[in-house]
């Protein structure tokens, strides 16, 4: 699967050397608090049950199906990759710049006898994987933490086959508004404020200190972070021969009925089928709506699915 020779292998994790300063900085940032980290009680059954309860991950797994090669870029502690590998014959590659994150994912896979997954440590820009090798490339929450989001996107899709799918998850310029406010209040009132008012933290078991800290650092203290609009991604797709398939939240605002816009179950049932880009105004309103919905309250992440032509 590699284009280049790896430097070494530690604990079954392939290691590639990298020199980029931003990648080093991001690696150092995640070194002591790997993200998203596991809850103390996590095992194969809990990961499977959490993944199956989440409309996005459950439908993603159904969409991937069987006998596929999947690359997750910026996999972090690799919960998603491990979840996607359970119970099928897909080959999953969890790729990240931060070795300690992958190590946690690798230990989890070993302890839970998940064997159809490889762990690779390196920088997204280093063109490590063979061209047109993977059926699906996932890059959720990673491109905006690199030196250049667009260039990182271009690097990510090199290893994607023609007619393969790329899934991009980024912070939204409008949708992250509530996080910006909480960031400011966190500076004034500290961690106690976040434990009360951050909806993701409220759901994490209070004993899972590592998971709590990793969320706080990732959301409120990150040294390299940008946000983007729906139209940014549409432009990147256009420039790289990637066809728009669908988005979350939906690009259509005015022509969708209210129930559909707010129902994650319905949205993700349709997310992997062809949707409409709609108009610029529609897209602006969809993004503004994020501020008042779950996606905006939990960090303002949005997803775009594209197909390489
Ligand atoms: C916010 S975390 C997202 C983790 C996971 N995708 C998720 O959604 O829970 C971002 C991850 O991207 C990784 N990352 C950042 N820059 C990278 C780069 N240049 N190459 C590879 N991975 C990178 C970080 O180490 C980190 O694990």
Distance CA(162)–CA(169), nearest Å, equals 21
> What integer pLDDT is reported at residue 266 of this predicted model?
85
pTM over 0.85: yes
> What integer pLDDT is reported at residue 260 of this predicted model?
67
Helix (H), strand (E) at residue 209 = helix 209-220
> What integer pLDDT is reported at residue 83 of this predicted model?
98
Residue 105 CB less than 6 A away from ligand 1: no
> What integer pLDDT is reported at residue 253 of this predicted model?
86
How far does residue 210's CA lie from ligand 1's centre (Å)? 17
- Closest residue (by CA) to atom 11 of ligand 1? 74
Residue 102 CB less than 6 A away from ligand 1: no
Distance CA(59)–CA(23), nearest Å, equals 31
How far does residue 167's CA lie from ligand 1's centre (Å)? 14
Look up residue 171 and give its two tokens: 């912070």
Phi-psi region of 241 (alpha: psi -120 to 50; beta: other; left: phi over 0): left
Question: DSSP assignment, residue 135?
Answer: E
Q: Within 10 A of 297 (CB to CB), how many other CB atoms are there? A: 18
Q: Which stretches of the chain drop beneath a pLDDT of 50?
A: none
Start-end ranges of CATH 3.40.50.150 in the chain? 8-176+222-308
Q: Within 10 A of 205 (CB to CB), how many other CB atoms are there? A: 11
How far does residue 136's CA lie from ligand 1's centre (Å)? 17
pLDDT digits (tens, 9 = 90+) for 115-173: 999 999 999 999 999 999 999 999 999 999 999 999 999 999 999 999 999 999 999 99
CATH of domain 8-176+222-308: 3.40.50.150
How far does residue 255's CA lie from ligand 1's centre (Å)? 35
């Amino acid at each position: 699967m590699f284009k280049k020779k790896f430097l070494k292998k530690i604990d079954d994790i392939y290691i590639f050397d990298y020199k980029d300063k931003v990648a080093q900085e991001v690696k150092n940032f995640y070194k002591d608090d790997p993200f998203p980290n596991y809850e103390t009680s996590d095992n194969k059954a809990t990961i499977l049950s959490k993944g199956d309860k989440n409309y996005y991950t459950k439908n993603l797994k159904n969409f991937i199906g069987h006998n596929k090669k999947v690359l997750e870029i910026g996999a972090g502690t690799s919960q998603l990759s491990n979840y996607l590998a359970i119970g099928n014959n897909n080959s999953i590659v969890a790729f990240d710049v931060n070795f300690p994150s992958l190590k946690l994912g690798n230990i989890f896979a070993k302890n839970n006898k998940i064997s159809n997954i490889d762990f690779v440590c390196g920088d997204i820009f280093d063109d490590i994987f063979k061209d047109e090798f993977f059926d699906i490339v996932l890059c959720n929450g990673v491109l905006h933490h690199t030196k250049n989001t667009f260039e990182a996107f271009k690097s990510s899709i090199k290893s994607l086959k023609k007619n393969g799918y790329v899934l991009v998850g980024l912070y939204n310029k409008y949708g992250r508004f509530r996080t910006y406010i909480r960031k400011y209040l966190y500076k004034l009132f500290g961690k106690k404020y976040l434990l009360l008012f951050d909806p993701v933290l409220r759901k994490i078991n209070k004993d899972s200190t590592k998971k709590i800290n990793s969320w706080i650092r990732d959301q409120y203290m990150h040294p390299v972070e940008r946000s983007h609009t729906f139209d940014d991604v549409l432009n990147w797709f256009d420039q790289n021969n990637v066809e728009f398939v669908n988005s979350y939240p939906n690009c259509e605002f005015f022509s969708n009925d209210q129930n559909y816009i707010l129902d994650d179950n319905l949205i993700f049932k349709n997310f992997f089928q062809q949707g409409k880009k709609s108009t610029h105004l529609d897209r602006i309103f969809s993004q503004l709506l994020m501020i008042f919905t779950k996606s905006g309250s939990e960090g303002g992440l949005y997803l775009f699915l594209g197909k390489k032509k």
